[in-house]
Amino acid sequence: MNTAKQTVLPLVIFSFFLLTHYVSAKIVVGPETAQYGTDLKDRDSFDDLLTYVDNDVGVNNLISNSSNTIVRQIPKSDVIILLNEIGFFGLLEENIFLRSNNLKTRSLLDYPEFTPFSQREKRAVYVDLFFNQTSRLFFNRNSSNICSYLAVTQPSFISTVQTIIENVKNLSEGITIDTDAILRLLSLFQTFTEQERRLGLMLGGQFTCNRWHFNIYAPWYYLERNHFVDQNIQNNIEELMADIIQDATGITQLTPEEMALAEKRKNEFIDNHLICDKFGIGDTRIYVDYPIIKKHKMWTRVGFLATIPTAFAFKKGIRGTSLSRAINRPTFDLVALVDGFTAPVKSVSQQAFDVGIAALDNLGAMILDTPLGNGGHFGIGLFGRNRSPLSNFIKFDWARRIVMRSFISLEYQFAATEWRSFRVPVNEALFNARNLTETDDPLVVNSNFDFIVNQLTDRLFPIALQTRVNPGVIFRWTSHMCYEGDTCGFTLGTDTYVRNKEKFSSINANREVRQIIDVANARSPFAYQAKMVGSVFFKVEKPDKLFTISLIGDYTYMNKGIGSDFTLALNVDCAF
């Protein structure tokens, strides 16, 4: 669980808004703020950014001094002029979001550890203690890097950011920003990803009626997702951020008390915004089958399966938080923000920070906050399972203890309504139809200003809509070679999982909205996963019971559209 602490997003986000406030103050106020530069304490890192505004007297005077109050609002035309001078309109023509699909993982019910291979004509109950981890979730069919989801490393985006930085530096000679360091920082973000962990119990049972076998089971588990970056890259980001902040603000040293408080606030930020977790029950799986071939120690059974959407979270935000999509997207008061930067006040700085946090939380709701089950989808399908002793094909004494087992299924999941997010791609025709440099005609200025606000909202906040989602078909095939001794044995085999690309049958939006959203990149992609599976088991036989204890594990060696994960399970099976 501690790997979540390795993320540096809170520091980067806070640093961005602190730098924004600093740069804006320098542009407008200029030399009048120079007095605060000599009052800043020496600091040796940027770990105090979470406490910097509250604890530093000089910065508090700069941001929240009662004499620095907003006494007028600058005209919208001046806001447009300033944004044009720094090249901000170019950023509005960049697609910040490249995709908006959910990040999918495999249902726990479909893992080979829980496949019903038992052939006993008895009742049985079983429990599995399991742990499953996906170290890198996939954002699209081929990539687990966030640069395939967000445009943090797109050449045009990097070029636009570089232009804005240079324009800001040219507006005031007092600004010190290392452009190359910021561009290197952005390049390091390309390998950011998401992790998922699931820990719990799979509870189930089996009984027979005539020659019919019935299996039913459901998981009770804890689910956690978090943002993640490799430790080496995190160290590089921290070093770059320290250099950038020190160059811009002169921060060079922290007291031990400030460092402890900064660490506490950083951890609180991570728990409140960068980790989503919950505990509850997952969906329920039912298998019913009947033998069509049955000979001595060899049989083939076929039947049907059903997935019942019983998933329910008893508790959310246990260690982390629970996030919701921005159904009502926030609006930007650009006049107040820019006016606040010209005469800095703490409330305006907080407003800018809150907008950034809202965008981060909305992104988290899209890719971190995932349901325990299949999202309310009912599933039904057919399956078959087979057991064939190797001695049927090889006439050696040792072959009688080796058994080939296989399981194959095809399940169709019915449509259900979910909240999904849709990005609004840049429409170049809308920009070409406007003269954003026009500042004399009040009607044109008001229209352009509203256009800028709407475009900024579209870039940062995909539209959340209720959508009828059809997940389609899931195919599974598991094949094992099993050595069965009198008291112990082992298995070794492969597992294949295939799921088609999901479809949307309807979207709850008017025609105008449906025409501007990107539906294709909101659908989860085709998914394929191949695993190696193995286990060791021990049998304890009593007069009226048979206990089987198994240690089972799997490892993904090939995958597309779904993360590479592993699972460990301890199974206790009691037949009676």
The rounded radius of gyration (Å) of the Cα atoms in the chain is: 29
Going by C-alpha positions, the residue among 112, 107, 108 that lies closest to residue 406 is 112
CA dist 8 to 194, 196, 210, 229, 425, Å?
13, 18, 60, 8, 29
SS3 at position 372 = coil
- The type of residue at 369 is D
What are 336's two structure tokens? 């107040």
Going by C-alpha positions, the residue among 390, 453, 517 that lies closest to residue 99 is 517
- What's the total number of domains in the chain? 1
**Residue-wise burial string across 16-41, b where 16 or more C-beta atoms lie within 10 A, e elsewhere:** ebbbbbbbbbbbbbeeebeebeeebb
| 457/334 Cα distance (integer angstroms) | 11
Q: Which residues touch 475 (CB under 8 Å, ≥6 apart)?
A: 409, 410, 411, 496, 497, 498, 499
> Taking a C-beta distance cutoff of 8 angstroms, is the pair 107, 373 a contact?
yes
SS3 at position 570 = strand
SS3 at position 334 = helix
- Element housing 492 (H / E): strand 488-499
pTM of the model as a whole: 0.84
| 373/7 Cα distance (integer angstroms) | 27
What is the span of the domain harbouring residue 154? 2-575
In which region does residue 81 sit, left (phi positive, over 0), alpha (psi from -120 to 50) or beta (all else)?
alpha
Q: Which residues touch 48 (CB under 8 Å, ≥6 apart)?
A: 55, 251, 254, 258, 259, 262
Going by C-alpha positions, the residue among 432, 366, 469 that lies closest to residue 96 is 366
Q: Which residues touch 184 (CB under 8 Å, ≥6 apart)?
A: 240
pLDDT 10s digit of each residue in the chain, 576 long? 444 444 334 444 444 444 444 444 444 433 333 333 333 333 343 344 444 444 444 444 444 444 444 445 678 888 899 889 889 999 999 999 999 999 999 999 999 999 887 656 678 899 999 999 999 999 999 999 999 999 988 999 999 999 988 888 887 766 677 788 888 888 888 889 999 999 999 999 999 888 899 999 999 999 999 999 888 888 888 788 777 666 655 555 667 887 788 788 888 888 999 999 999 999 999 999 999 988 877 889 999 999 999 999 999 999 999 999 989 988 777 887 776 555 555 555 667 778 888 999 999 999 999 999 999 999 999 999 999 988 888 878 788 889 999 999 999 999 999 999 999 999 999 999 999 888 889 999 999 999 999 999 999 999 999 999 999 999 999 999 999 888 999 999 999 999 999 999 999 999 999 999 999 999 999 999 999 999 999 999 888 888 999 999 999 999 999 999 999 999 999 988
211 backbone dihedrals φ, ψ, rounded to 5°: -105, 5
For tokens 């921060």, the residue is 251
Q: What is the largest CA-CA distance in the chain?
A: 96
Q: First vs last Cα of the chain: how many Å apart?
A: 38
SS3 at position 88 = helix
What are 16's two structure tokens? 């961005």
